[in-house]
Amino acid sequence: MRLIGGLFTHHEDYVALFKFRLSMLLPKATVEVCAESGALGAAWLAEHTESAPPARDTAVVEDAEALAVAATEQSNPRSADLDRKSTAELVDLFASEESYVQAALQAKRAELIAAVDLVAAAVKAGGHLFYTGAGTSGRLGVLDASEIPPTFGAPPELVQGIIAGGTTALHRAVEGAEDQPESGALAIVERGVGEGDVVCGITASGRTPFVLGALARACELGARTILLTCNPSRTRTSWDVEIDLPTGPEIVTGSTRLKAGTATKVVLNILSTCAMVRLGRVRGNAMVDLHISNAKLRDRGVRLVSRELHIGYEEAKKRLEKVGWDVRLALR
């Protein structure tokens, strides 16, 4: 297969991404850039192309069929009459459904342990943790990553969130952003992912093209990979760790910000927090690298120092003031 046109002859990054996308559709194809003018190819096509009915997009149809059978897209029989329930019944139903989250987490205990060990080893060796997702999944990844610097005093680049559609997608939907695997691959390259890093792809259905494209590119760059889904019936892939939480159908059909979102957030809590514990950023159960930036956190820091050193509140406060409110230094 020959690629013709100015984009291909002048932009190597575009060529690499185009080849990556083609490799997913035509894995056995040999692709090269043609240095000849694109006008020649256009003339040849005009001469040889005959009118024909549009071909059936098999890839799109197969993807739609896979999504239709996903656990996250099924109707929940316990909420079939949701619009006829009283407020009390609605509250009771939502509360009772959360039991499925705990059961799903317990069912994947071994996979969670493997994922934690993978992330902890990477960050201890100087690597980074990247979350990538679209919609709710992407927002949860960005949320967890954003909490690490103030909670544990870690540099912001240590845990990063990548969301399809960029920062705009944090507060409103970006149509079609999740459907482009090449965009996921490009995002991985732009963040500088490489060997020693871990990329955790978050997709409730397990089939989001943006996420799968990001994971595939991460593999090519030598990074380790984790796939986090809430769809055990998904088409199987081959990542270093695969966590398929059996949270079951949502109360509102397809609304994965509910049980799937809750379970996903718990898993991200586990991955990032355990990594910080392994880095020594927790003493006992105290955040000794807490970034103190307001009155509430100053009080928390004082109480922490007071408890750990068995000294009075005022004395602990003076110790912290002396070292610029650095908890770790105050504990020495």
Write the CA distances from 24 to 88, 199, 225, 228, 317, integer angstroms: 50, 20, 18, 21, 59
Helix 313-322 and helix 295-309: axis angle, to 10°?
A: 110
Which residue of the set 73, 98, 111, 147 is catalytic? 147
Catalytic residue among 178, 182, 242, 250: 178
SS (H, E, C) 146-197: HHHHHHHCCCCCCEEEEECCHHHHHCCCCCCHHHCHHHHHHHHHHCCCCCCC
Active site residue 178: yes
Q: How many CB atoms lie within 10 A of CB 287?
A: 20
Describe the strand order of the beta sheet including 198-202 as a list of residue ranges.
159-163, 129-133, 198-202, 224-229, 241-244
Catalytic residue status for 32: no
Q: Is residue 270 within 8 Å of 118, Cβ to Cβ?
A: no
249, 121 in Cβ contact below 8 A?
A: no
- Say how far apart CA 70 and CA 260 lie, in whole Å: 12
Catalytic residues: 147, 178
